[in-house]
């Protein structure tokens, strides 16, 4: 598990260690941009006090964005939003039991007015997009990160065009 020191700009929280294989793509994507996240396992239901304390102190600890991944009832992102004014990005997870993550998606998306959570797709695609979205937010005030983001987007474009050219040659 990755545990960056104080002043990590992004925190990744998971409701369970079973979420780590999926969220590893988020961790890896952030690291590819040079962002070393803090990674924790905290549950809105099983460790509510610890989760609340984490959210309430996150800004004081240098965190700028919280990415929260959870399945089933998926209240971790909402719990973070209730106790922090930081941007919260929710990643719904597909639980071993349940309707393919749709329950988690709806729990993450359906926040009451005034308690926003930016909701990503279910699972690995959402985990990777959460990292990119966090970098987009951070890049607003970090020119070096903005350049890395621009290079990332150009590389994506070039990869698709290269595959297209190979297919049509």
For the residues 15-41, what does the mean pLDDT come to?
Answer: 96
Where residue 72 falls (left for φ over 0; alpha for ψ -120 to 50; beta otherwise) is left
pLDDT at 1: 40
pLDDT at 79: 95
21/9 Cα distance (integer angstroms): 22
Statement: residue 98 has pLDDT above 70: no
For the residues 5-13, what does the mean pLDDT come to?
Answer: 83
pTM of the model: 0.92
Q: Extract the tokens encoding 98.
A: 């349940």
For residue 15, the surrounding DSSP H or E stretch is none
48-92 per-position pLDDT tens digit: 999 999 999 999 999 999 999 988 777 899 999 999 999 999 999
pLDDT at 6: 55
* Order of strands across the sheet that contains 38-41: 38-41, 10-14, 65-71, 88-93, 118-119
What domains appear along the chain, each with residue ranges and CATH number?
10-142 (3.40.50.1970)
pLDDT band at 2 (very low <50, low <70, confident <90, very high): very low
> In terms of C-beta density within 10 A (0-12 exposed, 13-18 middle, 19 or more buried), how is residue 49 classed?
exposed
pLDDT at 90: 97
pLDDT band at 4 (very low <50, low <70, confident <90, very high): low
124-165 per-position pLDDT tens digit: 999 999 999 999 999 999 999 999 999 999 999 999 999 999
């Amino acid at each position: 598990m990755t545990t960056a020191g104080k002043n990590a700009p992004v925190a990744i929280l998971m409701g369970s260690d079973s979420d780590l294989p999926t969220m590893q793509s988020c961790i890896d994507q952030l690291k590819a941009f040079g962002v070393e996240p803090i990674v924790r396992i905290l549950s809105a239901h099983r460790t509510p006090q610890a989760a609340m304390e984490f959210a309430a102190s996150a800004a004081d600890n240098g965190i700028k964005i919280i990415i929260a991944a959870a399945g089933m009832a998926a209240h971790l992102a909402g719990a973070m939003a209730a106790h922090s004014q930081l941007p919260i990005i929710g990643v719904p997870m597909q639980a071993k039991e349940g309707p393919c993550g749709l329950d988690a998606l709806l729990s993450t998306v359906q926040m009451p007015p005034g308690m926003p959570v930016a909701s990503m797709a279910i699972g690995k695609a959402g985990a990777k997009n959460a990292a990119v979205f966090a970098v987009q937010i951070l890049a607003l005030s970090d020119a070096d990160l903005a350049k890395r983001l621009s290079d990332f987007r150009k590389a994506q474009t070039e990869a698709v065009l290269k595959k297209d050219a190979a297919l049509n040659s």
